[in-house]
Amino acid sequence: MGSAVAAAACALGHRVAVIDHAATPAHAPPQAIVVAGVDLSDPAAADAAMHKAHDALGGLDALLNIAGGFAWEKVENGGSETWAALHRLNVQTALNASRAAIPYLKASPAGRIVNVGSAAALKAGVGMGAYAASKAGVHALTQALAEELKEAGVTVNAVLPSIIDTPQNRADMPKADPAKWVSPHDLAAVILFLASEEARAITGALIPVTGKV
C-alpha cells in the first residue's frame, strides 16, 4: 500500500520521502527519498526519521500514516500479545509519526495528516477483535488530532478501507473475488485527495473506501 501511494504521489509531481521499517526497501519509487530501517513504534526513531525527511525535502506539507499490521485471532483462544502487537503497529506508529511531524506541518501553509483506519473497526467480525480495536484507536486519534490542530490550519483525516487487493490478501483468500476489493491505486487516490489543497475544508473525517464488498 505504501509503495502504491508513494508512486502515485511521485506521478503527480510531489516530492516524497518514504519512511520504511525495512533496511533496504524494495518498492520505493526511484525518485523518492528513502529513510530506511525505522521502527515508528519507537518515539525517538520516529522523531529522527521525521527530522531526516524534513531536512531532505526542505519542509513537510503532508504526513501519510500507512504503516500497520493485521492478525486474525479469536478473543476466546487468543492471547494478549496480539492485542499489544496490533496496538503498537497500528496506533503507536501513527501517534509517534504524527507527534514528530506536527511542528513541521504547523510551519507549512497547508499541513495535512492522513491516517489509514479500517471499515472493520466500524463493525468487527469473528477473529477481528484485536485488529478492529487497534484501528478504532486510529479513528479516535484522527478525530482528536483534528480538533487539536484546527487553529493551526492542519487537517487530519482517515480513510477506512475494506479488503485491499494486495498479493498477500490474494494468497490468504484464494477463493475470494478480488474484483470486489479496493485496489491500492484507488485507495491512494483518496489518500492523496485528502492531502491536497482541494480538501482544505475537510478535517476529522473518517471516509469509508470499501469497493464492492
The residues assigned a catalytic role are: 131, 135
Residue found under cell 484464494:
174
Helix (H, G, I), strand (E, B) or coil at 100: helix
Residue found under cell 511521485:
10
Q: Which residues, including other chains, have CB under 8 Å from residue 139's CB and lie 6 or more apart?
A: 117, 121, 158, 160, 206
Q: What is the DSSP letter of 20?
A: -
Among candidate residues 208, 213, 178, the one with its CA nearest the CA of residue 190? 208
The identity of residue 176, as a single letter, is A
Q: Let me know: does 213 contact 163? Beta carbons within 8 Å.
A: yes
